[in-house]
């Protein structure tokens, strides 16, 4: 039997002999969630390793056989040790201060000329804060206390007072802020962000400095951070004064056009990002007023306009159909005011003098040989334009016939101008009902009076005198609808006729609705200023109608 003094040799056990799970925790040997574990030997987790070594009293070295990761409960325990050590130190300091109750300590304002440590020390990361445990914690806390004492509260207070003064000056009406441009012209400007940034840097430099530091950008070249800066500046001033609502009106229009719900709009309104859901009608009224004002200016310049009317129908389907919750068909009428670029007052409007079926157009429209030759030349130039535009090989011909391609004529300047089309509010009326058609015509008549009264071409009626009925013979098919109205001296808009264009349904319904009003006493009630009703081959959006040709391959 060997004695105790017999030398021994130690053999390292194999992996199969050791009952150690490599997926277990290095500190508590528990096996749990592997996804949320941390490798304790990584450089980023060196603070946790140092705390564990100080608690263990020995060095914890990495070993290929032993596990490397730490579970989340052990991580919390290590961090709680650090927090508990801080609680102990703070408690002892409080006890010491209470023992020396006779002494008072007053913090003095330190001069800003005192050198301060780098900013990286003011914001310690999780790694540096954990590294300071048990040995370095007191040094970090003392340095942080020294940094807090170096902060000048008077400087921060003065900056806030200066920012308050700048915002109050912008909220005043004189000089006017760019955020007060809440009209249609201000909302549709493309450079409104540049205007807001310019006002922010010139009139509110302190606020601009605060916002630029918060967003970490330069206002001279903000880049992608330009919209957030404008939005923050607009929200701050909107919450101080609701008249500075230019940005909120733009957001409201975007939300409404994007089919946002009422609850979403009201929720964003609480944060000052947009107007309330009920205020969208105020924005639409301002847009309508802008178009009518522009129409008044065009009427003053001598231009004439027509109404283009079209019906809009869509169906609102429900997700869960019930007895009182069914699919609903919605109908509306869209109207636009189109101004003519070429005047046509000199043309006769007394109606056709011959039957269209039997007349010879060569006798009515007499074209001379010179005019026919000019027409042929213009057709050639139109074809040449298409060839030069569509076929690059013919582009060299443009230099040879550049003068002929212009096609100058007596109305060249007028036709080269942009068409003036005023979009009017959509009326929630059904064009298939005569009662709704009468309401639509009443609204068109009201807009006509409003435009001509505002332009100064007609005066407001001083009295409510009534006109006599128009005595004309009746016809079986809408008898009075297509007869030219008779002018009256008592009519303030005497001699004014606004044509109404639409598709076949619009023409028939409007003519029938006007026929229902032919027995009224005044010209406005009889809708005399809306004449004639004509059929056009396009809708309000100027999209051409589809024409179905029987037995044609084009339908396929």
Q: How many Å apart are CA 40 and CA 188, to the nearest integer? A: 59
Neighbours of 203 (CB within 10 A): 16
Q: How many Å apart are CA 381 and CA 379, to the nearest integer? A: 5
300 pLDDT exceeds 60?
yes
In terms of average pLDDT, the best of 18-32, 192-206, 331-345 is 192-206
The answer to whether 422 touches 293, Cβ cutoff 8 Å, is no
| Stretch among 19-23, 236-240, 270-274, 421-425 having the lowest mean pLDDT | 19-23
* H, E, C per residue of 165-203: HHHHHHHCCCCCCHHHCCCHHHHCCCCHHHHHHHHHHHH
- Structure tokens of 407? 């096609």
Higher pLDDT, 459 or 476: 459
Q: What is the pLDDT of residue 97?
A: 72
Higher pLDDT, 80 or 106: 80
Q: Supply the mean pLDDT for the chain.
A: 78
The answer to whether 271 touches 235, Cβ cutoff 8 Å, is yes
15 pLDDT exceeds 70?
no
| Stretch among 72-86, 148-162, 321-335 having the lowest mean pLDDT | 148-162
Q: What is the mean pLDDT of residues 75-85?
A: 82
Tally of CA atoms within 13 A in the half-sphere of 233 that contains its CB:
37
315 pLDDT exceeds 80?
yes
The percentage of residues in the chain with a pLDDT greater than 70, rounded to a whole number, is 75
259 pLDDT exceeds 80?
yes
What CATH fold (topology level) applies to the domain 19-86?
3.40.1800
State how far the alpha carbon of 192 is from the alpha carbons of 32, 220, 249, 253, 282, in Å: 57, 16, 13, 15, 21
391-402 confidence digits (pLDDT tens): 888 877 777 766
Q: What is the pLDDT of residue 251?
A: 93
Please, which residues have CB within 8 angstroms of residue 529's CB and are 6 or more apart in sequence? Answer: 445, 448, 449, 485, 493, 496, 497, 498, 523
| Stretch among 320-324, 477-481, 496-500 having the lowest mean pLDDT | 477-481
Quick one: pLDDT band at residue 407, thresholds 50, 70, 90? Answer: low
- Structure tokens of 514? 């006007």
344 pLDDT exceeds 90?
no
38-47 confidence digits (pLDDT tens): 888 888 888 8
Q: How many Å apart are CA 294 and CA 303, to the nearest integer? A: 12
In terms of average pLDDT, the best of 33-37, 264-268, 301-305, 460-464 is 264-268
Q: Are strands 69-70 and 38-39 parallel, antiparallel or unpaired?
A: antiparallel
Q: Which residues pair with 38 in a beta bridge?
A: 70
Q: What is the mean pLDDT of residues 261-265?
A: 92
Q: How many Å apart are CA 41 and CA 47, to the nearest integer? A: 10
Q: What is the pLDDT of residue 359?
A: 82
Quick one: pLDDT band at residue 469, thresholds 50, 70, 90? Answer: very low
Q: What is the pLDDT of residue 179?
A: 92
- Structure tokens of 367? 């074209």
Q: How many Å apart are CA 506 and CA 304, to the nearest integer? A: 22
450 pLDDT exceeds 60?
yes
406 pLDDT exceeds 80?
no
Q: What is the pLDDT of residue 71?
A: 87
Predicted structure pTM score: 0.56
82-122 confidence digits (pLDDT tens): 788 888 888 888 777 766 655 565 655 555 555 566 666 55
Quick one: pLDDT band at residue 486, thresholds 50, 70, 90? Answer: low
Task: Spell out the domain ranges in the chain.
Answer: 19-86, 172-276, 302-341+419-461+480-554, 370-399
């Amino acid at each position: 039997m060997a004695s105790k003094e017999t030398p021994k040799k130690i053999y390292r056990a194999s992996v199969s002999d050791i009952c150690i799970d490599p997926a277990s925790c290095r500190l508590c040997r528990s096996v749990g969630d592997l996804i949320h574990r941390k490798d304790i030997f990584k450089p980023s987790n060196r603070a946790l390793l140092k705390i564990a070594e100080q608690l263990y009293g020995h060095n914890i070295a990495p070993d290929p056989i032993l596990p490397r990761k730490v579970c989340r409960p052990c991580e919390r325990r290590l961090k709680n040790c650090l927090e508990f050590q801080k609680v102990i130190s703070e408690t002892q300091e409080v006890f010491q201060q209470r023992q020396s109750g006779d002494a008072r300590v007053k913090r003095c304002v330190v001069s800003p000329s005192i050198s301060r440590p780098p900013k990286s020390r003011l914001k310690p990361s999780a790694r540096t804060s954990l590294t300071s445990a048990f040995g370095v914690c007191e040094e970090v806390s003392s340095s942080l206390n020294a940094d807090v004492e170096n902060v000048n509260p008077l400087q921060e207070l003065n900056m806030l007072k200066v920012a308050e003064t700048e915002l109050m000056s912008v909220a005043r009406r004189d000089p006017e802020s760019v955020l007060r441009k809440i009209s249609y012209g201000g909302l549709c400007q493309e450079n409104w962000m540049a205007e807001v940034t310019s006002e922010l840097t010139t009139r509110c430099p302190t606020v601009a400095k605060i916002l630029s530091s918060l967003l970490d950008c330069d206002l001279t070249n903000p880049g992608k951070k330009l919209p957030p800066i404008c939005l923050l500046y607009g929200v701050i001033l909107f919450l101080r004064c609701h008249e500075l609502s230019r940005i909120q009106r733009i957001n409201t229009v975007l939300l409404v056009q994007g089919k946002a719900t009422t609850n979403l709009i009201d929720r964003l309104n609480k944060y000052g990002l947009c107007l309330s859901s009920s205020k969208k009608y105020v924005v639409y009224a301002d847009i309508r007023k802008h178009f009518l004002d522009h129409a008044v200016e065009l009427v003053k310049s001598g231009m004439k306009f027509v109404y283009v009317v079209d019906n809009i129908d869509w169906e609102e389907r429900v997700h869960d159909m019930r007895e009182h919750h069914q699919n609903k068909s919605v109908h509306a009428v869209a109207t636009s005011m189109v101004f003519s670029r070429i005047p046509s007052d000199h043309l006769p409007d007394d109606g056709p003098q011959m039957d269209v079926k039997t007349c010879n157009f060569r006798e009515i429209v007499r074209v001379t040989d010179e005019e026919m030759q000019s027409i042929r030349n213009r057709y050639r130039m139109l074809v040449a334009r298409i060839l030069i535009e569509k076929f690059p090989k013919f582009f060299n011909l443009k230099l040879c016939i550049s003068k002929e391609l212009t096609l100058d004529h007596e109305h060249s300047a007028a036709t080269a101008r942009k068409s003036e089309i005023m979009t009017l509010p959509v009326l929630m009326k059904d064009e298939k009902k005569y009662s709704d058609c009468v309401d639509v015509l009443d609204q068109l008549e009201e807009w006509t009076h409003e435009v001509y009264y505002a332009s100064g071409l007609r005066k407001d009626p001083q009295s409510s005198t009534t006109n006599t009925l128009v005595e004309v013979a009746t016809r079986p098919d809408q008898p009075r609808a297509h007869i030219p109205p008779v002018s009256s001296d008592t009519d303030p808009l005497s001699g004014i006729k606004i044509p109404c264009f639409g598709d076949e349904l619009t023409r028939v319904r409007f003519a029938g609705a006007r026929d229902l009003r032919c027995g009224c006493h005044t010209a406005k009630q009889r809708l005399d200023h809306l004449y004639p009703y004509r059929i056009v081959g396009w809708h309000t959006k100027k999209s051409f109608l589809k024409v179905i040709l029987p037995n044609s391959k084009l339908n396929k």
